[in-house]
Amino acid sequence: MSEFKKVNRSENYSEWYNYIVDAAELAQHSAVKGCMVIKPYGYAIWEKMQADLDKRFKATGHSNAYFPLFIPKSLFEAEEKNAEGFAKECAVVTHYRLKADPDNKGKLIVDPEAKLTEELVVRPTSEAIIWNTYRGWIQSYRDLPILINQWANVVRWEMRTRLFLRTAEFLWQEGHTAHATKDEAIAETTQMLKVYASFAEDIMAMPVIQGIKTANERFAGADETFCIEAMMQDGKALQAGTSHFLGQNFAKAFDVKFTGKDGKQDYVWATSWGVSTRLMGALIMTHSDDEGLVLPPKLAPIQVVIVPIFRSEEDFLAIQEKANNIKSELEAKGVSVKFDGRDTLKPGFKFAEWELKGVPVRLALGMRDIQNNTIEIARRDTKEKTSTSMDTVVDDVMTLLTDIQNNLYQRALDFRTAKTKVVNSKEEFLKVMDEGGFAMAHWDGSSESEEKIKEEYKATIRCIPLNNPQESGTCFFTGNTSKERVVFARAY
């Protein structure tokens, strides 16, 4: 089935990842360089993420809206830092028509007469088009705050792509809010960071560090970038979401002013925040194992699969009836259940397939079970199997789903704890980077040393954690004084 051969994590983590994405039918490369096809099973997981996030956005007062895919070049370049940050990876529309190729029957060429007078950038992010629109919406403090989110596709031209982790086109949501005061905008920024953190931890079962990016790692056009950082199983970091305090940068670039209660005019304060299909990559690399995908129950499109063990048609029908009863009872409790009644495949094959696809709980039911009023329960995370009574199976499954969700989180947290080291020298630092993990190291706060560290160790400052303990020390790299440790890691 898979174009990639089965690989264990310990052999080659990167090839293992490609294998899982392919074999679990999550996504594949397309005919368009750098763009992916998200397959139905992968998309079903993304839909579950979307639904939960969307609920959280609405619960915090946001509405969805939709802004154009294209940004005229003159708008795109208005906020200079933002433009500079994204210019190198912009897909640009220059023409609006194809025509028949006179030299090649049946082929088309770009019609040179249909050249746009102004080129259009395919949005890499939507601050420019949105703030240009907000100008028309905001006159007074009464028009504020504006709390809008957009679910959309964006394009950032990438040369080296990896499915979900780095693709030229990806799906995301981008929140764009406008406020009358700086404090309110900062409160929004941190509120959304917390929304992301609790989504990551409660739904994805993925522990994250909440923190602030250094100036070097900030979003182009932001005054401050907050982030959540997760640790993958190879000890590398993955930035899983960002929330930006944009100050008045976009309001100034697009001339968005409001009249305050005091009658004075001021520029509007802004935030933006986003997570993307990159979260799919984070999910896979946080929990999955050599047998395939492992999904937290809250994101599993199929939470329970029931596999019948039968020899005759008669047995099959008896088992199916029992299975359907269990299925109905579980569905009534909001659990999604699949009965795998395919008659051309052996149970062992089915077990492996559902393991590969990360279904959290597997029930197996044979004639002997029916005679004994028992059923086999297997959990995907630990691969433990037990036999339970048919009378309690529904409750047992409900408990197990919660257990699995919690266990996945705890396992990932324990892993991160074990792989996070306090580091005081270059040698210790290099060791952590080479073995994989987070190094908590003193840093002198200068962009210069940050860049040199990046060059020498291929490691970046992932963030300065929120509420970071203040302790005086010396920078592991320069020996200069430092007031706190920050999180270093190699990163996706």
Binding-site ranges for its own copies (CB under 8 A): 28, 30-32, 35-40, 43-44, 47, 63-73, 75-77, 80, 83-84, 87-100, 106-108, 110, 119-122, 129, 132-133, 136, 148, 152-153, 155, 157, 169, 171
Note whether 365 and 319 are within 8 A (CB). yes
Nearer to its own copies, 185 or 253 (CB): 253
**410 half-sphere exposure, CB direction, 13 A CA radius:** 8
Nearer to its own copies, 136 or 334 (CB): 136
Nearer to its own copies, 15 or 158 (CB): 158
Nearer to its own copies, 43 or 273 (CB): 43
Q: Which helix (H) or strand (E) holds 453?
A: helix 447-457
Nearer to its own copies, 133 or 303 (CB): 133
Instruction: For residue 339, count other CB atoms closer than 10 A to its CB.
Output: 18
Task: Name the minimum Å distance from CB 46 to its own copies.
Answer: 8
How far CA 468 is from CA of 209, 228, 462, 477, in Å, comes to 11, 14, 13, 20
The C-alpha atoms of residue 291 and residue 422 are separated, in whole angstroms, by 33
Task: Name the minimum Å distance from CB 36 to its own copies.
Answer: 7
Nearer to its own copies, 205 or 268 (CB): 268
Task: Name the minimum Å distance from CB 427 to its own copies.
Answer: 41
Nearer to its own copies, 170 or 488 (CB): 170
DSSP letter (8 states) at residue 491: B
Nearer to its own copies, 54 or 315 (CB): 54
Task: Name the minimum Å distance from CB 285 to its own copies.
Answer: 21
Nearer to its own copies, 69 or 309 (CB): 69
- As beta bridge partners, residue 275 has 173
Task: Name the minimum Å distance from CB 75 to its own copies.
Answer: 6
Task: Name the minimum Å distance from CB 452 to its own copies.
Answer: 26
| CA-atom Rg of the chain in angstroms | 26
Task: Name the minimum Å distance from CB 95 to its own copies.
Answer: 4
Task: Name the minimum Å distance from CB 148 to its own copies.
Answer: 6
- Residue 249 burial class via C-beta count within 10 angstroms: exposed 0-12, middle 13-18, buried 19 and up: buried
Q: What phi, psi does 265 have (nearest 5°)? A: -90, 140
Chain centroid to CA 270: how far?
Answer: 23
Task: Name the minimum Å distance from CB 479 to its own copies.
Answer: 38
Helix (H, G, I), strand (E, B) or coil at 7: coil
The C-alpha atoms of residue 202 and residue 402 are separated, in whole angstroms, by 11
The C-alpha atoms of residue 152 and residue 175 are separated, in whole angstroms, by 11
The C-alpha atoms of residue 397 and residue 402 are separated, in whole angstroms, by 9
Q: Which helix (H) or strand (E) holds 282?
A: helix 278-287
How far CA 430 is from CA of 217, 315, 484, in Å, comes to 21, 61, 19
